[in-house]
Amino acid sequence: MNLKERVSDRIGRIIGYTLRSRASTDRLRCAEEVFYQQNYRWLAERLKPNTTILDIGASIGDTAIYFAQFREVKKIIAYEPMPLSFSLAQRNIKAAGFAAKVTLINAAVSSSDGRVRMPEGINDVSFNIREDCNDIGIPIKKIALKRAIKGLRNVAIKCDAEGEEGFMFDTDLSNVYAIMLEWHGSEALYRSSRALNYRGFTIELFGEIKDKRYGELGILCAWRPVHTAASATPQVVSR
């Protein structure tokens, strides 16, 4: 059994369904962090009834499947811009039985609407949508965060946007009560922290690392002080 098969098998033992990924072992390792290491437990423990999860950077559908298992979650709107990861997410979410609860959109969430192009053959795990290669490559659709959350209520955001998190939160977030994001680089950390502080969020940082491959990154958790944390009730995940 190779590394990819071992990681996939370990995830399968936890959730009762083996995630499939042709993209890379990196994608399955990220999924292992979601289910095995419970990396998003902070947000799961603060879910309010009838929550809409906005999953920014859905990858192969792992975080959408994770949050779909909680009774507090009414629906999930998941954005994944990369074509291969998007197709794998569609297959995984359907096979896991959550197609009715998860709306999957093939687009990136950004600070503004538009399009960029991603170089073909790039490792999409770390692609920043600001790295536009102009007239060549795969077209990627961008949707502004303010449009992605318009009309939604009781929103919690999970965000892994490879640096774009530093620009998208400078907008109205009055319908959002909690955010958990992975920041990439000190500039993105500074910009996102400033934007969220200005909008009344309390912020906690943890897990900062300096990775040779991906650079400086860490986790930022933000919540509104009026919210009282309550224990979430997972339907499947064993905690």
Instruction: Annotate 208-220 with DSSP letters as a single string.
Output: EEEETTTEEEEEE
Q: Which residues pair with 68 in a beta bridge?
A: none
Flag whether 210 is in a domain.
yes
Q: What is the CATH number of the domain that holds 68?
A: 3.40.50.150
Flag whether 43 is in a domain.
yes
Flag whether 102 is in a domain.
yes
Strand 202-211 and strand 215-223: the pairing is: antiparallel
Tell me the C-alpha distance between 194 and 35, whole Å. Answer: 31
Flag whether 20 is in a domain.
no
- Could you list the residue range(s) of the whole structural domain that residue 201 is in? 38-120+130-223
Give buried/exposed letters for 19-50 (b at 16+ CB in 10 A, else e).
bbbebbbbbbbbbbebbeeebbebbbebbbee
Q: Are 181 and 158 in contact (CB under 8 A)?
A: yes
Flag whether 204 is in a domain.
yes
Flag whether 5 is in a domain.
no
Cβ burial, residue 212 (10 Å; 0-12/13-18/19+): exposed
The reported pLDDT for the residue numbered 17 is: 62
Flag whether 179 is in a domain.
yes
| Counted domains in the chain | 1
Tell me the C-alpha distance between 175 and 24, whole Å. Answer: 35
> What is the residue-level pLDDT of the chain in tens, covering all 239 positions?
555 555 555 555 556 666 666 555 666 677 777 887 788 999 999 999 999 999 999 988 999 999 999 999 999 999 999 888 899 899 989 988 999 999 999 999 999 999 887 766 554 555 565 555 556 677 889 999 999 999 999 999 999 998 899 999 999 999 999 999 999 889 999 999 999 999 999 999 987 776 655 568 899 999 998 644 444 443 433 33
Query: What is the biggest distance separating any 2 CA atoms in the chain, rounded to whole angstroms?
Result: 50
Flag whether 148 is in a domain.
yes
Q: Are 159 and 189 in contact (CB under 8 A)?
A: no
The reported pLDDT for the residue numbered 137 is: 72
